[in-house]
A = this chain, B = another copy of it.
């Protein structure tokens, strides 16, 4: 492991700083060589913190530098352009979620990756939770038997982020909670279940809270305060049913705002065991044991920092020691699923996924 990769980070907002912290936590494997953001002062502050030699305000300039790999942490609407340019420039890419604004853009990124031969990893960091990895191991080892249904529940009662800002403006974000947090849960659900072939979606999206703007009541606001002159043209609730061929299915409920209690989990139902993840409780297999109906509580060490693990796996992938922790093809599948969810809502009927 004597190869220390030179890293560039494009975008030094909240998530870009998280990436910087993650590379800095792996000093034997990586050094942050370059930073880029349109806000020069943000670049300077971050550069001082991590002793970063090269600073840019134009990502195209950064891509001309000698960095080996880049983290793409820009706004969703720029994911495609920056990722494609980086791959063309011969850089490995760790691309933040959502992979792109839609599956068409995602496919363009995949094509660029294939042409470049470089490593592309998608920022599906929820997978790196120890309980998700452990559940995946249980499925792989056959402990769950045939997996035939997945329940995805990700309900925030009042959690619209940055009302009126880029999060709630479709042309900048690509969508609402589906794009913001749904991608993590869909990815983790398909990853654990080992089901990457969604074939059809029946769904709908609703917006009952966001359009109220000033009359939207909340307790606290992430990425706030609200900008009442801004736009809310995305969903605040989405629900539906996904087929994986005939053998399996997935139901989902995802919200930024709903008149229901906060509730989060992914539940995987198998013929031999079931498991509920990410619900803030210990991991429990609902199953049988010695021919008795039984629950099995698995002990495990929590992942201290999922971003550190993600960065470490990306670095290993760049060194060609392991595949990317989340592949471009998987990211593309998630985007196809989300496109189909929106389309099924618009058409008010089931939509097939090719």
Q: Which residues of A contact B (CB under 8 A)?
A: 134, 138, 141, 143-146, 148-149, 151, 157-158, 200, 202-204, 206, 208-209, 217-220, 237, 239-241, 243, 245-246, 249, 251, 253, 258-261, 267, 269-274, 276, 284-301, 348-350
Contact = CB atoms under 8 A, between A and B. Distances in A.
Given A149-B239, A241-B240, A293 B202 contact: no
Contacts of A270: 259
Contact of A239 (B241, B260, B274, B289): B241
Given A241-B239, A270-B259, A350-B349, A293 B218 contact: yes
A295 B297 contact: yes
Contacts of A269: 237, 258-260
Nearest to A134: B292
12 contacts: A158-B299, A200-B349, A218-B293, A240-B251, A259-B286, A260-B286, A261-B286, A292-B298, A292-B300, A293-B300, A295-B296, A349-B350
Contact of A241 (B220, B241, B261, B296): B241
A321 to B, nearest CB: 20
A163 to B, nearest CB: 15
A246 B348 contact: yes
B259 A273 contact: yes
Number of copies of chain A assembled together? 4
Given A149-B237, A350-B350, A292 B217 contact: yes
Nearest to A291: B217
Contacts of A208: 145-146, 148, 271
A10 to B, nearest CB: 32
Contact of A350 (B143, B202, B272, B288): B202
A279 to B, nearest CB: 11
B301 A219 contact: yes
Given A148-B208, A237-B149, A286-B157, A217 B258 contact: no
Contact of A202 (B241, B284, B285, B291): B241
Nearest to A241: B241
A249 B204 contact: yes
Nearest to A243: B348
Given A202-B243, A217-B291, A260-B286, 7 more contacts: A200-B348, A204-B249, A219-B300, A240-B241, A259-B269, A259-B271, A259-B286
A276 B155 CA distance: 14
Given A291-B217, A294-B298, A251 B274 contact: no
A299 B294 contact: yes
Nearest to A204: B249
A284 B246 CA distance: 37
A135 to B, nearest CB: 12
